[in-house]
Chains A and B, each alone.
Chain A
Amino acid sequence: MIDEQTQELVLQYLLGELEPSRMEAVRTQIESDAELKTFVNEMEETVGSLAYSVQPIAAPPDIPQRILRAERGPARAVQEAPRSRRAALIPWAVAACLAIACIILGVDRERVRDGLSKELAALRETNAQTSKALTQLEQKSADSEKGLAALEQKNAGAQTELAALRQKAAEQDQAVAALTQKDADSQKELAALRQRNLLSEVKIATLTAQVAKFQQTNAVVVWDTGLRSGVLLLDKLPPPAPGKDYQLWVIDPSKPIPVSAGVLSVPSVGLIRTSFHPTQPVQSAAAFAISVEKSGGSTKPEGQIILLGK
């Protein structure tokens, strides 16, 4: 039975914790004790199995080649180099030189150690400064990346805004075009309305013959209700009989008798076009008539009505 203290000592041996001299003593003890040896073997196996608990990582595949290349190099040199007697002295010469060098180095050892210590301290200082600078650079880099991300975000926002403004401008242009079109339409409509208004203020009446003699006569009255005046067009009206005149009348229902629009001056041949103004204000021109009156005209119709129209 192996006591706990020995077990712990052996484990320290296996884990490589003991000083070299102690290691040798324990090794001797193990070799001389079969039970202890078995225990050590089992424990070595158990300790070794701990490596299985680690996640395996693909190792560089060329390490065996590197090792074999390095191991082969010196051996081949030894085999292939022909050794002359002079060459055989070379190792001794080298050994002698090394011995001399060791003496020199031994003398200089302390000085070199001091120098190395200083250089090591300087390297450590440099390393610390480099680490610090690297940390600062990493911080700066991180800040720059943040700034860049913010700018990119801002730019994306501005692009979106610009696109929205362009869309709005296009819509406004369309609205202006639509309004311009509407305005043109309105102008046209207004012009049409004005035209229609003008026409509504004008009354056209065709006078028809009331006597067979005037069947060939054409007579048209264009009456402007706004201006309360009109134009008479006459064709193929024979000249009046001597001592007689043709007189135009406007029939206004609000008046007891027709209102005279004047005596017509009739040339021998051709078209008569004459404008006329009633002698009294007319409210509504319901009809027009031409009668034969005594020369110079009458204040009310007394002669025969030859032409009449509404």
Chain B
Amino acid sequence: MTRLADDPESKFEASLISQIADGDESAFATFYQRLSSSLYGMAYRMMNDAKEAEDVLQEGFTYIWRRAGSFDPSRSTAFAWAVMIVRNKAIDRLRVRQRSERLRERAEESLVQQTDESSAEEPTLRERSAMVRSALQQIPQEQRAALELAFFGGLTHEEIAERLTTPLGTIKARIRRGLLRLRDFLHEEI
């Protein structure tokens, strides 16, 4: 089965991480340039606040700079590794504060205004985004909703079950099945 890790873009990003581990600042700048818009978009969606998303991004990339040597290219892609780092930083913050609905609305409004037009000019990013969105659309809605709450909302399985008033076992199954189907769709696309 072909994996994302095997495509040239992923290999290049993995080599950048290797150079970063050796203290290469220009590799760090290139890696940031390639991934920051996606990671910032994710952090923004999770935090609903531009300043906090920026802080999360900075904390995540500080971690990458310091711990690039711990990246194992045989385990996952550099992108997935960076996503998990930034997501964990966001979850750390999400779990210590409650956002007001008002702030959320403002952030969503500004999110729409700050869409990065330049990203549309990067074919690789655009193709990957289109591929993932297309794969997500093929997953049943209830599985997708549970996945998004877990990934972007930073909610635990128990919290999702409570919010959706659905048994915990059902939520676990939905997330598991959703991810398995997403994996299969992505591999088929590659």
Q: Out of B102, B115, B180, name the residue touching A131 (CB < 8 Å).
A: B102
Those of B160-190 within 8 Å (CB) of chain A: 172-173, 175-176, 179-180, 182-183, 186
B99 within 8 Å of A (CB atoms): no
A45 and B76 form a contact (CB under 8 A): yes
A56 and B77 form a contact (CB under 8 A): no
* Residue-wise interface mask of B (60-81) relative to A, using a CB-CB cutoff of 8 A (1 in contact, 0 not): 0110011000000011110111
Size of A's binding interface in residues, CB under 8 A: 39
A227 within 8 Å of B (CB atoms): no
B145 within 8 Å of A (CB atoms): no
A11 and B179 form a contact (CB under 8 A): yes
Across-interface contacts of A40 in B (CB, < 8 A): 75
A67 and B65 form a contact (CB under 8 A): yes
A59 and B36 form a contact (CB under 8 A): yes
B3 and A42 form a contact (CB under 8 A): yes
B102 and A47 form a contact (CB under 8 A): no
Instruction: Give Cα distance in the complex from A70 to B182, angstroms.
Output: 39
B52 within 8 Å of A (CB atoms): no
A68 and B83 form a contact (CB under 8 A): no
B179 and A51 form a contact (CB under 8 A): no
Given the interface pairs A42-B3, A55-B41, the reply to whether A67 lies near B183 with Cβ below 8 Å is: no
Binds B, one of A12-20, A105-113, A240-248, A271-279: A12-20
Instruction: Give Cα distance in the complex from A68 to B23, angstroms.
Output: 10
* Residue-wise interface mask of B (113-141) relative to A, using a CB-CB cutoff of 8 A (1 in contact, 0 not): 01110110000010011011100100000
Cβ distance A21 to chain B, nearest Cβ, rounded Å: 16
Given the interface pairs A42-B183, A56-B37, the reply to whether A63 lies near B77 with Cβ below 8 Å is: no
In the complex formed, the residue of A with least CB distance to B116 is A58
Across-interface contacts of B54 in A (CB, < 8 A): 59-60, 63
* Residue-wise interface mask of B (77-105) relative to A, using a CB-CB cutoff of 8 A (1 in contact, 0 not): 10111111001100100000000101000
Those of A42-57 within 8 Å (CB) of chain B: 42-57
Given the interface pairs A11-B176, A45-B3, the reply to whether A56 lies near B183 with Cβ below 8 Å is: no
